[in-house]
């Protein structure tokens, strides 16, 4: 490990990475002994090593979480919000260091790493306000001298299974909202990014200690898919939030559904941007390039398809190819670079297979598609972002490739473009660039985009935390982050109070004794 990396970990209070379990301030020793090395896709260097938790380790954590849940649900919501506020302040203090670790372990640019930590800070701020706004409703009763209302109660334990591409933000979306709702959390991070998870819990330690909180409110279990299976099967966990591939989500949904539990799924995206003949092409170009190559195309909201009006197809195609020629690819900690590495060589292989597949189906590669080698690219995880012409029905276009490849598809009418946009299995994010108000409103109407996110004159990537985040169809249907997504982390209860002296029944039913 580079000396600078050791210093970075020390700054985040990570003196040892050889661990896998945390219940707040206690870092438990696993019953396993085999260590798993953690490598950076930036330069291939070893960052540390962890021990994967066993099923018995998981059981120890769950027992602690159950005890904590009984305490935490009784703490007033604004006081729970105060804990989240203090954590947000810790994140502010360590934003640069945690952002750098995100970049180093995952491979996204340093600016994007900082942005991810800022997203954590933002969701903490949102959750603090939410802690005083967990509103129910009052309803008029049909019976005299009766009052009805509804209220929301904590679920208990929330399981969180997160993916490598947003190794810390998605956990914060779930855990900070869940915390103010009165839930405790058990987090299984991606095996590919365990160090950032350890860093998040190290920053939590002082908040927990300073507030004299019990163990088990925030829990970390690092492990492979077996730990994910434990969470999905566990009847003690009423709700499981899982982020990742559609294949993974289907498995989680099946297992959680079999025990009649609740799941919140944020899965694959196959996102399209419609570029109208009425578009501001300069803005569309900037949005398209960031949407396609930001995070090296490893966002669930990355732009996979550009649906371009035939009258401007060649013009925009040439602009895009020219812009790609100016991209700087390399170490993501160098802020002069635009594109960092893919997460690992398996992702590189998936990318190159997609490039070959679009050629085989009749598409033309306009630029990129190659694996980079030589000085600065020793990890083998760097590729040249690819632009290809294609048709929407191609098999490879119908699938999500988690990498920087985008397909250019011409269209003639807006109705055709919307049909093409919707004609995939996924339904996460979508956008249209147009200065024509009729086109914009048509796209946003019930007959327009079928995605959970639909934007006008901004790209598919880069959602704000104030809105509910999620999608339809094989994206899973879940909603996280803002708006009223908090309701997923609580159970609704309807209450009726009879303050009269007799007992009238609903619907006018008579039952006299």
Q: In the chain, what are the helix, strand and coil shares in percent, each to the nearest 5?
A: 40, 20, 40
Three-state DSSP at 459 gives coil
Q: How distant, in Å, are the alpha carbons of 56, 188, 225, 251, 253 from that of 229? A: 13, 10, 6, 9, 11
Three-state DSSP at 464 gives coil
Q: Nearest 5 degrees, angle CA 200-CA 459-CA 462? A: 10
User: Which sign, positive or negative, has the C-alpha torsion 470, 472, 477, 483?
Assistant: positive
How many CB atoms neighbour CB 160 within 10 A?
A: 26
Indicate if 386 belongs to the active site. Answer: no
Q: Return d(Cα 260, Cα 239) in angstroms, integer.
A: 10
Q: Return d(Cα 468, Cα 484) in angstroms, integer.
A: 7
Q: With beta carbons less than 8 A apart as the criterion, state whether 463 and 469 touch.
A: yes
Nearest to 296 by CA among 449, 413, 117, 164: 164
Q: Return d(Cα 185, Cα 219) in angstroms, integer.
A: 6
Nearest to 379 by CA among 345, 420, 408, 332: 345
Torsion, Cα of 247, 248, 251, 254 (10° steps): -90
Instruction: Give the residues across from 97 on adjacent strands.
Output: none
Tokens of 223: 């492990």
Nearest to 273 by CA among 234, 318, 306, 308: 306
Indicate if 300 belongs to the active site. Answer: yes
- Quickly list H helices, 19-132: 55-72, 77-93, 95-106, 110-130
Three-state DSSP at 37 gives strand
Q: Which of 230, 300, 381, 386 is catalytic?
A: 300
Q: Which of 105, 112, 215, 266 is catalytic?
A: 266
How many residues are recorded in the chain? 513
DSSP state of 296: G
Nearest to 347 by CA among 187, 107, 161: 107
Active site positions, annotated: 266, 300
């Amino acid at each position: 490990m580079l000396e600078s990396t050791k210093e970075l970990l020390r700054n985040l209070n990570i003196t040892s990475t050889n661990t896998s379990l945390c219940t707040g301030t206690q870092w438990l020793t696993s019953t396993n002994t085999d260590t798993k090395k953690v490598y950076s896709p930036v330069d291939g260097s070893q960052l540390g090593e962890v021990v994967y938790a066993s099923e018995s380790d998981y059981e120890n954590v769950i027992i602690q979480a159950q005890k904590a849940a009984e305490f935490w649900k009784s703490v007033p919501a604004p006081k729970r919000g105060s804990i989240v506020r203090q954590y947000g302040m810790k994140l502010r203090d360590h934003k640069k260091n945690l952002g750098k670790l995100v970049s180093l372990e995952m491979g996204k640019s340093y600016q994007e790493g900082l942005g991810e930590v800022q997203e954590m800070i933002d969701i903490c701020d949102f959750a603090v306000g939410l802690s005083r706004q967990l509103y129910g409703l009052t309803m008029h009763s049909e019976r005299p001298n009766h009052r009805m209302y509804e209220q929301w109660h904590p679920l208990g334990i929330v399981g969180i299974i997160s993916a490598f591409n947003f190794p810390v933000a998605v956990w914060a979306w779930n855990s900070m909202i869940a915390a103010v709702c009165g839930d405790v959390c058990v987090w299984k991070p991606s095996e590919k990014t365990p160090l950032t998870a350890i860093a998040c819990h190290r920053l939590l330690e002082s908040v927990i200690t300073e507030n004299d909180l019990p163990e088990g409110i925030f829990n970390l279990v690092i492990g492979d898919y077996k730990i994910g299976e434990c969470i999905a099967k566990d009847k003690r966990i009423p709700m499981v939030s899982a982020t990742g591939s559609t294949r993974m989500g289907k498995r989680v949904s099946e297992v959680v559904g079999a025990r009649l539990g609740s799941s919140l799924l944020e899965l694959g995206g196959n996102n399209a941007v419609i570029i109208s003949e009425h578009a501001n092409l300069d803005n569309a170009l900037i949005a398209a390039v960031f949407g396609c190559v930001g995070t090296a195309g490893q966002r669930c909201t990355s732009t996979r398809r550009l649906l371009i009006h035939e009258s401007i197809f060649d013009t925009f195609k040439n602009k895009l190819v020219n812009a790609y020629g100016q991209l700087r690819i390399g170490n993501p900690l160098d802020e002069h670079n635009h594109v960092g590495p893919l997460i690992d060589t398996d992702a590189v292989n998936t990318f190159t297979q997609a490039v070959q597949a679009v050629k085989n189906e009749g598409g033309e590669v306009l630029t990129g598609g190659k694996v980079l080698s030589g000085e600065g690219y020793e990890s083998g995880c760097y590729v040249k972002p690819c632009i290809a012409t294609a048709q929407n029905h191609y098999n490879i276009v119908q699938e999500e490739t988690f990498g920087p490849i985008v397909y250019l598809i011409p269209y003639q009418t807006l109705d055709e473009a919307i049909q093409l946009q919707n004609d995939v299995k996924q339904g996460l994010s979508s956008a249209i660039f147009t200065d024509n108000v009729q086109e914009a409103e048509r796209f946003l109407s019930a007959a327009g985009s079928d995605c959970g996110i639909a934007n006008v004159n901004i790209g598919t990537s880069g959602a704000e935390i104030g809105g509910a985040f999620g999608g339809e169809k094989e994206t899973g249907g879940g909603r996280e982050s803002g708006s009223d997504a908090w309701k997923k982390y609580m159970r609704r209860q309807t209450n009726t109070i009879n303050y009269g002296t007799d007992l009238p029944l609903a619907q006018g039913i008579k039952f006299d004794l």
